[in-house]
Structures are given as structure tokens and as C-alpha cells.
Structure 1
């Protein structure tokens, strides 16, 4: 059983409920077309690297707890099923204070990893501007999506009236969500570390590399 300082970090739980894997959770939350898969792949790499480090430093139980909370959260986000929320609450309630702090910290890092992966995707998006075809299909890909003004122009060109667009917007449902863009201040050392990770992710994608070179870059990411 993993430890944090002195004593066990998990209490009253020996087996975790079935839950989505990191890959399944990202695929469900990020329903994207092929061009957008880079954010899913990069975020999955970063999340799995963190879980691997947790297993080495704190033990399998705490890593499994983090992955379970992550997977059940994505599951509930998708289903809005009270039963999924109850399973999530049960897992969180089973953690002692030390484990709860460690789990919350790990999940915070995973949200930050989303921002890092998104930054890489945004860089690719800028390069993909030249690939826009001026068609509404561009909106299906975050790499070629247009501005709001351009989107309205495309909808009007398809024959939709201003009232059609207005009525469609009025039917949209807006919910409160937990943002993956933290507003708290971040130490300069962490910002520099995130920048290095972004650089390594870009190199990993741009270079025509051997499996050995790819593994080398992934290990460099993990070491950060």
C-alpha cells in the first residue's frame, strides 16, 4: 500500500469500482475528428506519465485512486447518472486526508497537462490556417475552425437568416463547469517546466524519428 510520510494513504478500500481508463475518458470528453487527436494523444501521454511516477513513488493504490477518480468524473460528466456520482463520492470518501491531498494535487496536475497539450494544439492551429477551405466543415476541426465573425458569414452563405442563428443560440444549454484554466499564480519554475514539456511535445510530433528517439523524448517529458 502506498504511503505519504507516515502511515497508509488509503483507508477502507481494497478494490476500486469499474471506471473509464485515461484513454477512454479523454476520448469521451474530447469528441474530436482525426485532425484534433493530437490533444488527446499528448494529454494521454502526460497523464499516463504522471500515473507511472505516482506508482513508483507512492504505490499502486494511490495511482489507482487518482485514475479511478479521473475516470469516474469523466463518466459522470458524460452520463449525468446519479449512480456514477455516488460511485465517485464513495471513492473520494474512502481516502484519508493525506491521500485526498495527494489525489487532489495529482488531478490538478492533470488539468494543467490539458492546458499544456492545448497550447501545442493551438500552435498547430495557427499553422493550419492556410488549410482552411472556407467551408462550414472547417468548424468540425479545432485546427481549422474560424472566428465567430467568419462562422456567421459561412452560416449566412448557407441560407440561414439572422433569426435562424439567433433562435439556435437561444436553444443552447449553458451549464457551470470546473475550468481547466486555473487562475492562481504559478511559480516561475513551473512555468518554465511547462514550456519545456510543450517544446518536447512539439519535437515528438514534428521529427521523423526512430522508435528509440521517440522513447528518448518521452523519457525526457517524464523526467520533467
Structure 2
């Protein structure tokens, strides 16, 4: 669909840069294996039973030396695709094409339908208690360094949306490749059980990459 053209372009760009990284680090054979699995998976998802069976055969035939790089390749691609999707929701292209929900309007309409009094609504809002809670989740394995790399990659996508000269675009593209290469070399899985200090540092990453900029902007009055 046309409304997702920018998103698809960014996913393709990040996937290409990741492919270049895999080729440089592991050679064409690994990249071709990853691409074969990707294409077979896409065909199988569309209902092609023959391709689905071939996909099973390819996956079961992977050697021990192939398993880890292939798994990491798809894990990294999913990270980058998710990043592109998150960026799209706040990008200029996304703002112009995404249908935005209006939860406050919907809530007020529902309250009106249920004949909830204005005084009751005001009292409920005044009694709200909103607190920041940073918790450790067993599925959250992203290292702090990787989170920072992904944040910088998102920054490159934002820069590419702006009007730059061909030379500037090339510099940004090169930086994007460097960041994806660095992310590839970042071990995502901890070798040791995280300590409370490690968990606290993960919370710091949320503050550094999001809240540190967002909260002052939220409380700064528009002039």
C-alpha cells in the first residue's frame, strides 16, 4: 500500500545494510543461505506448500556452524524492522499517512453515552496517581549498548528524511552501515545472570534514550 511505502523503503534499506554486514563478516555463502530461508519463508507464508516443505528441509539441514549466524541474522533483521516501524509512527511520512486514533475523544463520547457527570469525571482525574515504574522482564535481553546503537540508527533514518545533498546522504548511509555492523558485533545475550546493578543500568537506558529529552519538552510551554 502507498501509505506504507516509506516504511517498506526503510525496512529494505536496513535489510540491505545488514546483508552487506553479513557478507563482509561471514562471506557470501552465509548471506545466500539467509536469503534462501527468507524467500522460502515468504512463499510458505503465502500458502505455497511446496516451498514450505523445502523450507523445512533447509532448516533441518543447517549445520551447527550455520545455526548461530542464521539465527542472529533474522534476530537482527527483526530488531531493525521493528525499529523502522516505530520510526514510521513518528516520521513525517507516517504522520501524513497513518490514521491516528483519538482515544480521548472516544473516551469522552463513551462517558457521555453512559451519562457520567462532569463533576464525577473531574474528581476521578484529580485522584489519578501516575508513577514511573521500571521493571526487569525475563524476555528483555537487549544489552544497553545495543539499545544505544538502535537509537542512533533511528536518528540516521530521521536524518535521511531531510533534504540533504548527495554527499551528505552518502555520509549518513555510511554511518548507518557502521552502526548496523557494530550492532552485529554486540552480543545480545548475557553470559552471566544480571545483577541488580545491571538491571538498574537497563532502566537508565530508557531514561537516557527517551525520558531525558521527552519530559522537559512535555513540560516546556509552547510559545
Bigger Rg, structure 1 or 2: 2
| Aligned positions of 1:35-54 closer than 5 A | 35-54=3-22
CA separation in 1, counterparts of 2:102 and 2:65? Answer: 45
| Structure 1 residue 145, shift from structure 2 partner | 4.1
1:115 aligns with 2:118: no
- TM alignment of 1:49-68, pairs within 5 A: 49-68=17-36
Match for residue 164 of structure 1? none
What residue is the counterpart of 2:182 in the other structure?
none
**Aligned to 1:222, which of 177, 183, 207?**
177
**Alpha-carbon distance in 1 for matches of 2:176, 2:93:** 24
**For the structure 1 residues 126 and 214, does the alpha-carbon distance in structure 2 shift closer, same or farther, using more than 3 Å as the test?**
closer
Cα distance in structure 2, aligned partners of 1:148 and 1:61 = 49
Is the contact made by 1:66 and 1:103 (CA closer than 8 Å) also made in structure 2?
Answer: yes
Quote how far apart the aligned CAs of 1:58 are: 0.8
Q: State the partner residue of 2:71.
A: 104
Contact 1:43/1:114, CA 8 A, preserved across alignment = yes
Mind listing any 5+ residue stretches in structure 1 that lack a counterpart? 1-32, 132-140, 152-181
1:133-144 equivalences under 5 Å are 141=97, 143-144=98-99
Q: How far off is 1:66 after superposition?
A: 0.8
Judged with a 3 Å threshold, the aligned counterparts in structure 2 of structure 1 residues 150 and 89 are, in CA distance, closer, same or farther, namely: farther
The aligned counterpart of 1:23 is none
Aligned pair count reads 148
Q: TM (normalized to structure 2)? A: 0.60
1:146 CA displacement: 2.9
Greater mean deviation of Cα atoms: 87-96 or 184-193: 87-96
For residues 191 and 213 of structure 1, the distance between their equivalents in structure 2, rounded to whole angstroms, comes to: 25
Q: Where does 1:72-91 land on structure 2 (aligned, <5 Å)?
A: 72-78=40-46, 80-91=47-58
Give the CA RMSD over aligned residues. 2.5
TM-score by length of 1: 0.60
1:187 CA displacement: 0.6
Query: Shift of residue 39 of structure 1?
Result: 1.3
Structure with the bigger RCO (C-alpha within 8 Å, sep 6+) is 2
Q: Which runs of 5+ in 2 are unaligned?
A: 107-137, 180-223
1:150 to partner: Cα distance: 7.7
